[in-house]
A and B are shown apart, each in its own frame.
Chain A
Amino acid sequence: MNKKLGVYICHCGGNISDYVDVEKVRLSVENEEGVFIAKTTMFACGDSNQKEMVEDIKNNHLDGVVVASCSPKLHLLTFRAVTERGELNKYNYIHANIREQASWAHSDDKARATEKAIHIVKAAIAKVRYAESLVPIKIKSIKSVAVIGGGVAGMKAAIELSNLGCQVYIIEREYFVGGRVSQWDALFTTNETGKELVTRLYNDLVKRRNITIYTSTEVISCSGNIGDFKLKIKTTPRYIKEKCNLGELQNAIDACPVEVPDDFNFHITSRKAIYHNFPGEYPQSPVIDIKNCTRCGACEKICENVDFSQKEEITDINVGSVLMATGFDPYTPADGEFGYNSFDNVVTLPQFKRMIDLSDEKLTFKGREIKNIAYIYCVGSRQVEGENKYCSRYCCTSAIHAAINAKKKFRNIYNFHFTRGIRTYGKQEVLYDESSRMGDIYLQSYENDPPVVTGMNDKTVVRINDILTGKREMEVEADLVVLITGMVPRKDNSVGSLFKLPKGRDRFFNEIHMKLRPVETVIDGITISGACQGPKNIMEAVNSALSAATKSYSYVSKGELELEPIIARIDKNLCTWCNACSQACPFDAVKMEEDKTKVFAVINSSVCKGCGMCLPVCPTDAINLIAYSNSEIESMIDALA
């Protein structure tokens, strides 16, 4: 332990030295065991000081360096780099924070601030005596990415990754790609349809050799870690041979006796067991929904391409990173929520949008022509009682856009919006302006006094205490009530559990940091994008998809990854495999191993993050965290005492 140490105490231009007597700190530590150099400096981070430090380390062959200055968040990496330039392994550098922890915090008591600073620096010196040279862990990283979900976000991310030269696997659970966007007609602001958007993306995708699209496919298991995920995927057959005569197929669809509610149209229509959602859909091959098929054979007799002999397929794929783009479900109102399922003219926003697309000339629902439409906002969002406290942010815009479209497409439509305040942020505000100029009526209530939908003699009446009219009770007789439903996480979000992705309080997948690390998850190598992370409109979903694609690419681009070597280490001799550490590990980094003599725990160095959760639970003290070993921490505590 005869290390030669260098200690630098920073004035921080007065930030520290105005309250901490830095010279006194220097004098108190210069005679500590091993301290070879002890200096004060006006700005430790300044160029000249950095150069001086490099010279000091080189010329004196220092074994350890301490800088007492600001927070390590600000300059830890700076001084690690200085240490490296002095030809010393960077893990021999220890940072002491005497600004945030001493001078700033105790500016009212200079003497004791100085005393505290001395202790902090002594503790850092104690730690640096134990410091060892460490080498970053290097692991291989396969240059391929699995994109889970083939909606706009997934497709756009795949194209981006393909451009960067990655092998991409798109894994889509549904039979057709395009996700929610393929269900929408005209979109704001260009009036390009969702179908056109999907077509454009799909045509781009299929041209690319490095993209493989799997539809009706789910991930069933995942093992491995960043750089080397091993996925098992299961593909349900379409029961239709690839090349198909569309005329014959239509006859086969007509012949099918099964009718089930059509998910694509949110159950306002029905479809057959053999079906495709709309003619221009991708892939352009219809499908037999085997769950609802009765195997009556009617289609088989008409169309020779029907093939019931097709089998489920399991495929193994190996990727360096996984990009999640699994999207959202629209909120389903509870029975009786604003008359949902109790009055037959109460529908949700997605249903209404499909109704507009499917109706010509007259807007009719269940045989009745519709004139007065009442829109009730924030259904399933910003809930007072329920769990969904968040704003779904897309629905105000979407509702107003749909209302305008209805008014333009059909004659004599009168729109009444029952809102809790309109949030058509950004460019979308022009829609709100347009709709009110067109004569749409906006009424507003507080969250604790929502509008009420009642039925009276075959009429549906919506009432509200309108705060814009002095809380006067206003009434509208509505032919149709549209519940403006928000976004909720996918009902079947099991793929998230499979990857152990954490969820936020809103139950959507959670990022590490909302602002600074918005697409990364705590599971290394897995990124999230689009509405699986939280409500987003199409533009925002694509933004985050491109961001996630770039992040995923950064994991796989070099073929190998460098990981921080500060991880847990298990002393095999002391370990008795009680399983406590593996249960405590939030990252699933501890595995059981066995040799001839005993069973013991091992750490997966590419998964371990060095969080230290396993340390205190070990009954035999067999685990040490590199650079934070018991002896190091104890010596620091001694120095502080």
Chain B
Amino acid sequence: MAIINLRFGEELKKYGAFDFNACYNCGNCTAVCSLSTEDDSFPREMVRFSVLGLEDDIKSSLKPWLCYYCGECTMHCPRTAYPGELMMSLRRWLTSVYDWTGLSGLLYKSLPLSILAFVLTALGVIIFSVYKKFDLASIMHYGHYFEMFAILTVLGVIFVPNLIRMWWFVILKPKIKVPFKKYVRGLWELIVHMFTQKRALGCDDNQLRWFEHFILVIGYLGLLFTTVVLDWFSSGSLFVTALGYLLSITVFAVTVIFVSERVRKKKELSKFSQPSDWLFVIWLFLMGLSAFVVRVFIDTGILENNIWIYLLHLTILVQWALIIVPFGKWTHFLYRSFAMYFAKIKG
């Protein structure tokens, strides 16, 4: 027995979905999807659940994460109901459902609130700098500490509880029995998907995009490692310096492709960008670029007189680490890989 809940559709529209009510259940979307299988068939079922507002069914489903948005479904939809964009919106909605703080939902639904958060974090950086009397060495020192602190806090306070919530929704609450052995054996799947996103290769004609995305992930993780662990900005090692340059260039160069795709709107997946999508790619770009420039300023010895560039970089970093990573689109990195993990151990 399920009760139809029309309010859910209204709620979902705030996450970007639209026109999915036009669906007449022909199933063309599912038929053309190259990732849908007989056991895990989507997106029609998800469209239907969304129309009827079957929230619990969507919460316990991993299917939104199993879609990598090639856009074939939307192209073939005879009712222009945009099933691909609906799946995207469901991922945003699920992100906010997993998030125990509720901040994800607020930021997804309200652009003014997002802007406010960005302004407040920028103000924080400025106040901190004033407090430190614009002493570059001290600010950079704390900047490095902040990076390490932010990673551990976000992981412990946000990600771990959120992943436990995801586990609760998809495995524990539906009372699916999974033996401990499976949890252990499935770990390899988790690691493989986290670092390769190989499922995305299953989408038609997606090799290039997968490769770009793969390089970006490696570049980003590498840059994170280089700045946090190897302390790129303070390192004198030629190898570390060169690696940092290479990785930061990789990050901003590849994000240029992603941003320009969203601007040109040629592919289905880049046609409907929500603020969260723009912020994610643009901030990633700015991170790579500002880190690169800061290091150039260090190497040319002019950073001392141009402290603003470091403050700018720090602001971007803080906004990234406190807003986009814990509550924004960054989380798909985790949820996608864990979805593959849960799907593996469930099955």
Give residues in A with beta carbon < 8 Å to B. 414, 416, 422, 432-433, 436-442, 444, 463, 468-470, 472-476
Contact = CB atoms under 8 A, between A and B. Distances in A.
Contact of A442 (B1, B6, B24): B24
A474 B2 contact: yes
Given A433-B22, A436-B24, A475 B3 contact: yes
A596 to B, nearest CB: 79
B21 A436 contact: yes
B165 interface: no
Contacts of B22: 433, 436-437
A469 B3 CA distance: 12
A397 to B, nearest CB: 15
Given A433-B79, A468-B48, A475 B21 contact: no
A441 B2 CA distance: 14
A416 B22 CA distance: 14
Contacts of A437: 19, 21-22
Given A436-B23, A473-B1, A474-B52, 17 more contacts: A414-B6, A416-B4, A432-B24, A433-B22, A436-B21, A436-B79, A437-B21, A438-B21, A439-B21, A441-B52, A463-B1, A468-B48, A469-B2, A469-B48, A472-B2, A474-B1, A474-B3
Contacts of B48: 468-469
Nearest to B10: A439
Given A468-B25, A468-B48, A441 B6 contact: yes
A413 to B, nearest CB: 11
28 contacts: A414-B6, A416-B4, A422-B24, A432-B24, A433-B22, A436-B22, A437-B21, A437-B22, A438-B21, A439-B9, A439-B21, A440-B21, A441-B4, A441-B6, A442-B24, A444-B25, A463-B1, A468-B25, A469-B45, A469-B48, A469-B49, A469-B52, A472-B2, A474-B1, A474-B2, A474-B3, A475-B1, A475-B4
Nearest to A444: B25
A442 B47 CA distance: 13
Given A433-B22, A475-B1, A439 B52 contact: no
A442 B21 CA distance: 10
B51 interface: yes
Contacts of B79: 433, 436
B2 A473 contact: yes
A512 to B, nearest CB: 38
Contacts of A414: 6
Contacts of B2: 469, 472-475
Top 6 nearest A-B pairs (CB, nearest first) are: A468-B25, A437-B22, A473-B1, A439-B21, A436-B22, A469-B48
Interface string B1-31: 1111010010000000001011111000000
A266 B49 CA distance: 38
Contacts of A442: 24
A416 B24 CA distance: 14
Nearest to A477: B3
B4 A476 contact: yes
B178 to A, nearest CB: 23
Contacts of A470: 45
Nearest to A469: B48
Contact of B51 (A433, A441, A444, A475): A441
Nearest to A440: B21
Nearest to A441: B4
A444 B9 CA distance: 20
A310 B132 CA distance: 109
A440 B49 CA distance: 14
B63 to A, nearest CB: 13
Contacts of B52: 441, 469, 474
A444 B49 CA distance: 14
A319 to B, nearest CB: 50
B52 to A, nearest CB: 6
A475 B52 CA distance: 11
